[in-house]
Structure 1
């Protein structure tokens, strides 16, 4: 572990690498906020991808500007064969960052990229065998991402002001919602049945059963590629629900969730978004993912935990993060019952 810690003198420009999906960004917001508070006069540049630039442009928060990275293997894409363009690296070096922070992973690819920026001080995470940075903490398995990133922020003197992300909803977000869907009804509850990994998806029939048990207006949200899941819930319900598929960008979705009394979801970015705009959530989690990505409080966020530890099809062990993934996509979270979810839903809606 890098032995030096504490504030870095004369910091005017900070680069932070976090170039992945919505939930991944939201898990990093407390660390970004801590960095901004520690260096209030510095400009914080997020090295992200295109959606970050669209969503964060002009939005109040810790990020001052975004550099949308092209596909770079191990940095902004998992695909191989995409080296960092030299023109990009030269442009980033020309910004003369004082501090470059890696909160992106174990560092096999990201640490050389961060070192290549030429910042006065680098800080981040280091898995075994990864290149070292000036200040670093070990990257270990089964460690909550938000707490991991706050440890990195602490390496450069940034102290956590909170453990959960907050995202500002703007007038533009609310206007997008109004244009697409009109005025949401009072008491709205949203369901989000999608998740990038199909093994994290609770069955659509169970979402529908929960929705039918709530005497509230229901919206079912999803990205365009999740239309079948959204319509699976709507079609399985015994009463009407409003499908919201591809009608809203992330900002509009934030505005919708802001108007909800509750969001019921899988372990997915939209659950993090709902929590970040102040809405209560109930979500179904696989046990290993709860450790790394689950909500850190329970007053308004209730995870229901599946303790399935092996593939339901072939029995492959799911508890070793380094093990090769088996080819089966069957849900690993079906041991979470409707009754368990409904208990938490009623508790939050009756509060």
Structure 2
């Protein structure tokens, strides 16, 4: 029987989408250890581009604002390490975490993470906290660049990575796949904001969201295709309003969509926080957009999602959990490439050649289901 720890420290560093896929792991950890003190340790991205993108989120320039989406009572405290280059920050984190005297360290890692990165994460935790038992690192498979043909799709959806610690603690049947439910909680203040926004802008008409941004250019579906989808939705649903969601960096794309019909297309890019966007998605009939945090956020709010997914990873691995069947992909010979920052071939055909009709088919199907 697993010894019950007084304090559990969880290491999880990731962006919005991956963090949402971690929520079931946090919920199940709390369920298994209801009396334990659970402390999340995370840090700002060391990638300058990603850090800049996070800074573009309204309401969360210096921290990971998505942490607040975890259901209340799931996490007791958060220790944010602002930079690995800051010795004072590392010393402060070390003093704080050792003072908690944790009995268990949970490494919430992603499916197929290379072993060298696992060792680095474990060594980092050891240096910060000391010789405390660590779980979650014995994931099956290791995705190495240049070894793509050896990747086994049976590794599963990324939601299983953060949950792997439970298999280490409680055996292979530690959880039922039917128990997995990424549920985000934006809070009552954000929900009040969303209700007021809807009252001010849509006057009770159906609301559909479009999220045309992406953290990297090779995950972008061309904006003219989003414009075609926008026009089709406005035509098919004459009383619908569309909200364009994203960061300040997506404002130029949003302007192109708003110009189609300024009376029915409104942008919240750079003005709505992640919590406010989540609350807005909760009241949308449908959300359409590039693979990324917004799609997982809307999925976690229980909304229908049509996600446009590039060929970076194998099918049914990173699609929004409740909306896997609504995801749209375009098959190309070079997929999956597992190149997370740029297209190795330079042509980005998995997105550039993805037709509007394929997306509209899923959009129209979802809208019919919502009637």
Matched residue, 2:122:
111
Q: 145, 166, 173: which one pairs with 2:158?
A: 145
Q: Please list, as runs of the form range in 1=range in 2, the aligned pairs for 1:63-102 lying within 5 A after superposition.
A: 63-72=75-84, 81=85, 85-102=90-107
Between Structure 1 and Structure 2, the one with more helix by share is 2
SS at match of 1:264: strand
Q: Deviations over 1:76-115 (max 9, x none)?
A: xxxxx56672232122111111111111454242111222
1:197 matched to which residue of 2? 216
Alpha-carbon deviations, 1:232-265, whole Å to 9, x = none? 3333569741011111111101111011000001
How many Å apart are 1:148 and its aligned residue? 2.0
Q: Does 1:154 align with 2:167?
A: yes
* Shift, 1:277, TM fit: 0.7
Report the CA distance shift for 1:192/1:37 in structure 2 as closer, same or farther (over 3 A): same
1:177 touches 1:256 (CA, 8 Å); kept in 2? yes
Matched residue SS, 1:333: helix
Counterparts of 1:63 and 1:302, CA distance in 2: 32
RMSD: 3.0
**Match runs of 1:256-295 below 5 Å:** 256-289=280-313, 290-295=315-320
Segments of structure 1 that go 5 or more residues without pairing to the other structure are 1-6, 73-80, 126-135, 311-316
* 1:124 aligned residue (118, 121, 136): 136
How far 1:52 sits from its partner (Å)?
A: 4.0
- Judging changes above 3 Å, is the alpha-carbon distance between structure 1 residues 154 and 70 closer, same or farther for their aligned structure 2 residues? same
Aligned residues: 320
Which has the larger share of strand? 1
Q: Which moved more, 1:288-297 or 1:222-231?
A: 288-297
Which stretch of the first structure deviates more once superposed, 190-199 or 62-71?
62-71
Q: 1:337 to 1:308 in 2, by over 3 A?
A: same
Q: 1:180 to 1:298 in 2, by over 3 A?
A: closer
**Shift in alpha-carbon separation, 1:180–1:48, aligned structure 2, 3 A:** farther
Q: In the superposition, relative to structure 1, how do residues 339 and 53 fare at CA in structure 2: closer, same or farther (>3 Å)?
A: closer
Distance in 1 (alpha carbons) for counterparts of 2:160 and 2:130:
27
Q: 1:274 to 1:298 in 2, by over 3 A?
A: closer
Deviation digits for residues 277-318 of structure 1 (CA, Å, limit 9, x no counterpart): 11010011123334431134448x5100122344xxxxxx86
Cα deviations by residue, 1:127-160 (Å, 9 ceiling, x for unpaired): xxxxxxxxx3345235432112222222122535
- Rounded to whole Å, the distance in 2 between the matches of 1:55 and 1:335 is 35
Counterpart CA distance in 2 for 1:85 and 1:305 is 42
CA distance in 1 between partners of 2:340 and 2:278 (Å): 34
Is the contact between residue 212 and residue 238 of structure 1 (CA under 8 Å) also seen in structure 2?
A: no
Matched, 1:18 2:12: yes
Aligned equivalent of 1:31: 25
Please give the alpha-carbon distance, in whole angstroms, between the structure 2 residues aligned to 1:323 and 1:257.
27
**What is aligned with 2:361?**
343
Q: Which moved more, 1:162-171 or 1:193-202?
A: 162-171
Asked if 2 retains the 8 angstrom alpha-carbon contact of 1:308 and 1:333, the reply is: no
* Distance (whole Å) between structure 1 residues aligned to residue 254 and residue 352 of structure 2: 18
5 Å-filtered alignment, 1:210-249, equals: 210-214=229-233, 215=237, 216-235=240-259, 240-249=264-273
Deviates more, 1:254-263 or 1:301-310: 301-310
- Cα distance in 1 between the residues matched to 2:183 and 2:73: 9
Change in CA separation of 1:57 and 1:193 when aligned onto 2, cut-off 3 Å? closer
